[in-house]
């Protein structure tokens, strides 16, 4: 797949992935999200002994929401290897909560090379979101 990722995004992804706390899985993951304001938030996975840790995407989205922002423009995910490290089901739903139809999700290899690009509908087809509960959504109908 073509499409180079900006060097500063790759550097931020590698840096946050390298700060992950993954003593059990030894599978460090980093995420970077871009909000509606253009602000970038990063997150790494944080594992705990009872195996209910925090995914990198959830960590980055928590930083976005904690800053008072509510919409994702872009999501980047980096794992430790050459294979796809796509968001888990729980993170796909978290991304969906803050996504719009224009939100792009990019998964890169350990060196920051683009492996795959998704729209929200491709990542989580026929999804359940705020509008299913009678609340406004950025996804539309």
- Output the pLDDT for position 131: 83
Please tell me whether 45 is known to bind a ligand: yes
Residue 1 confidence class, pLDDT cut points 50, 70, 90: low
Which residue ranges make up each domain of the chain? 7-122
Please tell me whether 132 is known to bind a ligand: no
pTM of structure? 0.93
In b/e form, how buried is each residue of 68-104, taking b as 16+ CB within 10 angstroms? ebeebbbbbbbbbeeeebbbeeebbebbbbbbeeebb
pLDDT per residue as tens digits for the range 73-110: 999 999 999 999 999 999 999 999 999 999 999 999 99
Does the domain made of 7-122 have the CATH classification 3.40.140.10?
yes
| Active-site annotation, residues | 57
Strand order in the sheet with 40-44: 40-44, 30-35, 72-78, 104-108, 114-119
The answer to whether residue 113 scores a pLDDT higher than 90 is: yes
pLDDT per residue as tens digits for the range 8-49: 999 999 999 999 999 999 999 999 999 999 999 999 999 999
Please tell me whether 77 is known to bind a ligand: no
């Amino acid at each position: 797949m073509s499409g180079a990722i900006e060097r500063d995004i790759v550097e931020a992804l590698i840096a946050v992935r390298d700060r992950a706390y993954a003593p059990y899985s030894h599978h460090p993951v980093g995420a970077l999200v871009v909000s509606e304001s253009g602000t970038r938030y990063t997150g790494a996975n944080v594992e705990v002994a009872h195996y209910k840790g925090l995914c990198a995407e959830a960590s980055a989205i928590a930083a976005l929401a904690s800053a008072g922002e509510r919409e994702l423009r872009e999501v980047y995910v980096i794992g430790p290897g050459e294979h796809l490290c796509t968001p888990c089901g729980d993170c796909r739903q978290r991304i969906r909560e803050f996504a719009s139809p224009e939100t792009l999700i990019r998964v890169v290899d350990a060196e920051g090379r683009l492996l795959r690009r998704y729209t929200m509908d491709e990542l989580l087809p026929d999804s359940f979101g705020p509008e299913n509960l009678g609340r406004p959504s950025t996804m539309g109908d």
